[in-house]
Amino acid sequence: MLTTAPPLARSRPDLRERLLVHGPECFSDIELVALLLGTGAEGESAVAVAARLLDESGGVSGLARLGGHWLSARRGLGPAKAVRLLSALELGRRASERALSARRELIASFDAVVEWATPRIAALEHEEVWVLALDGQNGLLAAIRVAKGGLHGCALTPRDVLRPAVRDGASGIVLLHNHPSGDPTPSPEDSRMTAALAVACEVVGVELLDHVVVARNGASSLRSLGGF
């Protein structure tokens, strides 16, 4: 006989699916705590337990100051959920602390891009394509390899380049790749890819700062060559 799943069994996957689609920044404090709890108590959903917990503790900032024994004693929690909450709060604290203290490498010029890229990819025997995701002050947020083995239209699209840059909250990007031949002169494929990427960058509001080609015999900038 088929039975209908109780509302609590349906709500948790819905929250998880929404987070994967929309990201955690779209969730309320209550929903995020409910996801960490996973389950509620008898007659009380995870969302209801989370709301009560935040109300009793004075919100997220109050929750972060409480100890494991207090949390474990709350109805609907227990030691396992208390440990889960404390671990998440501590990870958030460490991430915030390290983000504030970290000094980002500045990539503010063509020479800086070449200095970063040359020891990493200039002498490779195969092509690699990298994206440098930069913040508003040209600090390096992330360096992501987006392709290996060539720079061809069907192998790399503007979406492949922009997806990690948007994910990392980049204000601008530098696309770079190497030429195993040793000649840094941009190819027609390089120019076509750059033009298509420049259009896509305008659409999503991420500035394409340059496309740099490095090789054993030097480097070239498609921006300086009028490539976009």
Q: Mind listing the pLDDT tens digit for each residue in 173-212?
A: 999 999 999 999 999 989 999 999 999 999 999 999 999 9
Percent of the chain's residues with pLDDT above 90: 43
Average pLDDT over residues 156-175: 91
From 205, 146, 151, select the one nearest 178 (Cα to Cα). 151
Torsion of CA 116, 120, 124, 130, to 10 degrees: -70
Other CB atoms within 10 Å distance of the CB of residue 1: 2
- What beta strand segments (E) does 123-201 contain? 128-134, 140-148, 172-178
Interatomic CA distance for residues 194 and 114, integer angstroms: 18
pLDDT tier for residue 100 given thresholds of 50, 70 and 90: low
Q: Which residue has the tokens 């030429």?
A: 179
- pTM of the predicted model, to two decimals? 0.58
From 224, 134, 132, 117, select the one nearest 171 (Cα to Cα). 134
Q: Which residue has the tokens 């500035």?
A: 207
Other CB atoms within 10 Å distance of the CB of residue 96: 10
Position 114 pLDDT exceeds 80: yes
- What beta strand segments (E) does 73-182 contain? 128-134, 140-148, 172-178
Taking the CA atoms of the chain, what radius of gyration do you get in angstroms? 24
User: Which segment of 5-9, 111-115, 124-128, 193-197 scores lowest on mean pLDDT?
Assistant: 5-9
Interatomic CA distance for residues 47 and 75, integer angstroms: 13
